A and B are shown apart, each in its own frame.
Chain A
Amino acid sequence: MTMETAQPGPAALVRSIEPAPAAKTRSHWLWLAAVAIALALPWLFFNWSTGRHSGFVLIMLSEIGLMTIFALSFNMQMGQSGLLSFGHAILFGLGGYCTAHALNAIKAGGLWLPTELVPLVGGLGGLAFGAFFGFIATKQRATAFAMITLGLGELVAAAALMFTGFFGGEGGISTNRVTGVSLLGASYSASWQVYYLIVAWTLISTVLMRLQTQTPLGRLANATRDNFERAEFIGYDPRMVRFCQYLLSGFFAGIAGALYAILYEIVTFDTVSAPKSATALLATYIGGVGGFYGPILGTILIVLLQSGVSLLSNAWLLYVGVLFVVMVMFAPNGILGLIAMHGPIARSGRVAALIVPYLRVLLPGLMVVGAFVLLVEMASFVTIGAEQGKSFKLGGAMHIDPFTLPPWVAAAAALVVATVWLRLEARALGRVWDGLSDEAKRLGQAS
């Protein structure tokens, strides 16, 4: 089975997303803005009357930070090297376990290490396990690699329940991040201190991973992804390239796992299990695998869905699944790919012509989403929610009884009508789009 022949997409996309020299300064401003937002965000939710931070928001933001590192490290394999892994969480979780043990050792006085540098333990743990698993997995590529990582993931997840010495069985390993050893004199008992520690490490890791894409190794990883035979003919060993990428990816996944251990102060077998691996895959793919920044967008979206929607609905994973399938079907290059598609039209200065067709798609689009959500919520209420003694409310005010037929018929009819309408509007949008991109192409050729 050959995968690289059927996959010209990512390579073409990387070229189009890679900023032109003139755009470099603009990208520096984006980085600065992102850091400023990350530093300022907790204060937007600061309760000035009680003088307290919102714990929920802080934990959610921290989760975004560490999952960003995790997803970016996943993309080092998937987007950069074309290696689809179904067991990336083993590197994350094992890094977390190493950190939990290290924190306990520091607390017991057997090891001296300031809390600020503890994530390095996780990173080195991830690196060491990455060397071991990478040696096995990178012997193959494409589907065989995916299958090996699937097997390794299942093995480690099962081992985590079997060997209680290192993994602590079902209870996991509990730890305490307040070790009393700090470079900055911070105790890390408050979650805002932990948040800023995570922001710092996220920034460091992201910058390092970004720089890594520009090293010869990063470029070679792209080369082996697109055409491994040609890379081999030039004289590079594709397996070595894959191995190095896996190793480095393990280092960063380990750092993410370490931050997880510091944030939650417990590491259980969930961190090495398949759902965790799937989260990285979903976030990366929804954000976009082609460019560097896609996984960041995807992670923000997934964590917001996870923290926000899971409070409101039992079915949040279903929404994520549907979003994922829709993205795979209609936007295989993810959110970032959708944005990048507008590049040529934006350069020709005609983006404004898209506003009206977009608005016309938006209305039936919202209707489809609304009707679908209503159907799902009614179904999940009938089977799961009703047992929990809740009543079914829409927007907090409108009462609907999902045990009667009318709301079901209405929602289903709305879904069908809106879908047909959406298809018509989407076709109209497609015609406008084609016209504009032809125009952009002509302008491009003229200049």
Chain B
Amino acid sequence: MEVFVVSLLNGLVYGMLLFMLASGLTLIFSMMGVLNFAHASAYMLGAYFAYTISLLIGFWLALLISPLICGLIGAGIEMWGLRRVHKNGHIAELLFTFGLALIIEKLVQMTWGLIAVPYRVPALLDFPLFTLYGTNFPAYRAFMLLISGLMFGTIWLALTRTRIGLIVQASLTHPEMVSALGHNVPRVFTLVFAGGTALAGLAGVIGGNYHTTEPSMAFTMGPIVFVVVVFGGLGSLAGCFIASLLMGLIQTFAVVFDYSPADLLKQFGLTVTSSTPFAEVLTVPLPRIGALLPYILLVLILLVRPRGLLGTRDT
């Protein structure tokens, strides 16, 4: 029970972090058809900018400035890069962002070095908030939940209550029609791209000191965010939300339960020894498979239901 509650909370924190990254990507992917490989790079840049800014003027301003810089970079990429590549088709756009991700990783290595930087949780939040069954729950995780919850609320209100939000929503499902009605769709694209990048940057600010801030963080996080977006479905923020929480919980719980397929077979009276065929595959414990689960889910959902959980169109 205690393991369950603690894992549930941790999974929720991780899931909300994933949602911050994935919500921007879902909007970009659904509207523009661009599977943005550089999205996780914005997450990394957010963390690194926050590290440098928090050294200079403190964490709280970094929380504000770092996502802003990321958003500006995103707007620049959209206006001067993607728009130009757009005429060459979706594959060219995808490859463009792929190249950008490579460049950003190298630039980060050159600016901040090859190894992880000591980006720490601010002292103000570095205390256990409450103790649950003898395990401390850090205040910073609660803060992460708060920020991501606030962000979720803000996006929700912005998309459903504002004029620009309604145009964005309409562009998600019927981009041609919105354009035909005379809205400046390219400007909406720039806005959404910048907004999504800023959100990824914000996720980097609060996630960088929760995980580690290192040059490879973009390439480890990127595929998982793709999984969430594809799993949740194109054009659906709700699907993205469910998929994020699901993925966060799955990955957290997989680490906790130390079972392997062999243990399952034992329940049915079958013992796996080293001479059993595929013994190596059968004795792999669940925590080690945990990292693989998102990819297995990705392949499965694309095979069975290519439009994802709540998607409106095929990927």
Contact = CB atoms under 8 A, between A and B. Distances in A.
A3 B291 CA distance: 31
Contact of A384 (B113, B296, B315): B113
Contact of B85 (A144, A146, A329): A329
B295 A318 contact: no
B107 A318 contact: yes
Is chain A's binding surface mostly helix, strand, loop or mixed?
helix
A159 B85 CA distance: 36
B258 interface: no
Interface string A160-191: 00111100000000000000000000000000
A154 interface: yes
B151 interface: no
Nearest to B230: A147
A148 B102 contact: no
A148 B315 CA distance: 11
Given A147-B230, A324-B99, A325-B103, A6 B110 contact: no
Size bracket, chain A contacts: 35 or more
A50 B99 CA distance: 44
Contacts of B302: 140, 144, 147-148, 151
Contacts of B306: 140, 144
A39 B303 CA distance: 47
Given A162-B284, A332-B88, A384-B110, A325 B226 contact: no
Contacts of A143: 35, 90, 94, 315
Interface in B272-302: 280-281, 284, 288, 291-292, 295-296, 298-299, 302
Contacts of A154: 223, 292, 295
A200 interface: no
Contacts of A281: 95, 98
A136 interface: yes
B131 interface: no
Interface string A288-326: 000000000000000000000000001101101110110
Given A158-B291, A162-B284, A328 B96 contact: yes
A162 B287 CA distance: 12
B315 to A, nearest CB: 5
Given A9-B88, A324-B102, A376 B35 contact: no
Interface string A119-161: 0000000000000000010011011101110111011001100
B92, B95, B110, B298 — which one has the most chain A CB atoms within 10 A of its CB?
Answer: B110
A383 interface: yes
Contacts of B96: 325, 328-329
Given A140-B303, A317-B102, A328-B92, A150 B226 contact: yes
B165 interface: no
Contact of A1 (B109, B112, B315): B315
A274 interface: yes
A228 interface: no
A155 B299 contact: yes
A168 B226 CA distance: 30
A384 B114 contact: yes
Contacts of A159: 292
B106 A317 contact: yes
Nearest to A385: B110
A412 interface: no
A332 B95 CA distance: 10
Given A144-B306, A328-B85, A383-B113, A155 B102 contact: no
Interface in B101-130: 102-103, 106-107, 109-114
A163 B281 CA distance: 7
A253 interface: no
A148 B281 CA distance: 22
B295 A151 contact: yes
Given A151-B299, A155-B296, A383 B112 contact: yes
17 contacts: A3-B91, A84-B91, A84-B94, A143-B35, A144-B315, A151-B227, A151-B295, A151-B296, A154-B223, A155-B295, A163-B281, A163-B284, A281-B95, A317-B106, A321-B100, A322-B99, A384-B110
Given A151-B295, A281-B95, A328-B95, 6 more contacts: A1-B314, A144-B302, A148-B302, A322-B103, A328-B88, A328-B96
